[in-house]
Amino acid sequence: MRLLAVLALSLALLAACGGDDDRPATVTRAEPTTTSEAAPDPPPEEEPRAEPELALEEVASGLESPVHVAGAPGEEGRLYVVEQAGRILVLDGGGPAGEPFLDIRGDVAAGGERGLLSVAFHPDYAENGRLYVNYTNSDGDTRVVEYRANEARTAVAPGTARELLAVDQPYSNHNGGQLAFGPDGLLYVGMGDGGSGGDPESRAQDLGDRLGKLLRLDVDAEGADWEVAAYGLRNPWRFSFDRETGDLHLADVGQDAFEEVNALPWPQDGLVNFGWPTFEGTSRFDDRPLTRGGRLVDPIRTYGRDAGCSVTGGFAYRGEAMPGLAGRAFYGDYCSGTIWSYRFVDGAARGARREKLRVPLLTSFGEGTAGELYLVSHQGTVFRLVEAR
């Protein structure tokens, strides 16, 4: 079953990359101009500390199509793994421990790019037990729901669901999926452009449409509504905020030619337009105009089909185990399993490199409570980023 699910997601992602493109054949496309392999990097900066040689340590295996991993504030040593079908399991220093923390398989439509896609814990989770999930419901639409954990924090308490966001999905693909709290304490959600290929209804540049946006909400304010933090997104499957600087690292899955990695310094300087579908990477995609109002931001890294087909955005490392790695941000590709990294300095990627690491079917990076980084393979394994011995 799992192999079928893996194949299904692989095919769906491949399709999302090109197979469903229904733009007229007369549209001309810019020739690829950059790849991460060929693009010249800026001159290397002086590194404050020697960087460690990196390796992957297996933390858990045998999971069913895991797509995300996260730690909760105030909890050392516990890790929450999101299974696409609709479960959250607790890793307590080893394999899944005890009963699922959450099981909403009955509410979730899973497969391809659909399913339970991420979890985020409230910054005051230790006190209030509140957590947030993003999933595709049985109608194929996006829901963001708040739950509360029980007193012992061993499971979600029954009857605590509070729906925060409901967005209809016109197509099965490009459902975004990431939830994360920003340095401002607001909950951010990444919304894809709705799907199909080429953003057929031009939703990503439509500021009145919630698809193709980075949205944010004050979950603590009574009656607060979602606002648009950024637009012009195709499928921001994974993003994160640097826990030290607050910088946003956001990867947007490309159409036919380029995968892109974006980064924004914190505090964010007004409304941002990430450019889709006018631009794919830094190349003109078609002749639809940009919507005015936002500041156009180009990706800081792109790569072409020679290097992969679906980017998985990551995190800046802020753990304690490898001080020399502090601030280095990682991303990878679902299809090729390749991992890259960079440092985000003065608005640009410095010291960019391809890592000597590979994770097949890389669905996500995630940050443990203490800041260590984890990588998730859709094949069922969670790895921790460690120093090579």
CB nearer to Ca ion: give 122 or 234.
234
Q: Is the dihedral of CA 158, 185, 71, 13 positive or negative?
A: positive
Q: How far is the CB of 255 from Ca ion (least distance, A)?
A: 11
Angstrom CA distances, 32 to 10, 39, 170, 276, 304, stand at: 24, 11, 30, 16, 7
First to last CA, the chain: 36
The CA distance from 197 to 74, in Å, is 42
Report the amino acid identity of residue 379: Q
Q: How far is the CB of 42 from Ca ion (least distance, A)?
A: 20
Q: Which long-range contacts (CB under 8 A, 24 or more apart) does 211-215 make?
A: 211/167, 211/170, 212/276, 214/188, 214/189, 214/190, 214/239, 214/250, 214/272, 215/165, 215/188, 215/189, 215/191
At 241, phi and psi to the nearest 5? -110, 130
The CA distance from 329 to 369, in Å, is 17
CB nearer to Ca ion: give 206 or 387.
206
CB nearer to Ca ion: give 331 or 374.
331
Residue with tokens 């203490």: 370
CB nearer to Ca ion: give 115 or 319.
115
Q: How far is the CB of 178 from Ca ion (least distance, A)?
A: 14
CB nearer to Ca ion: give 36 or 175.
175
Quick one: DSSP state of residue 105? G
Residues that bind Ca ion (CB under 5 A): 169, 171, 174-175, 194-195, 274-275
CB nearer to Ca ion: give 130 or 174.
174
Q: How far is the CB of 5 from Ca ion (least distance, A)?
A: 18
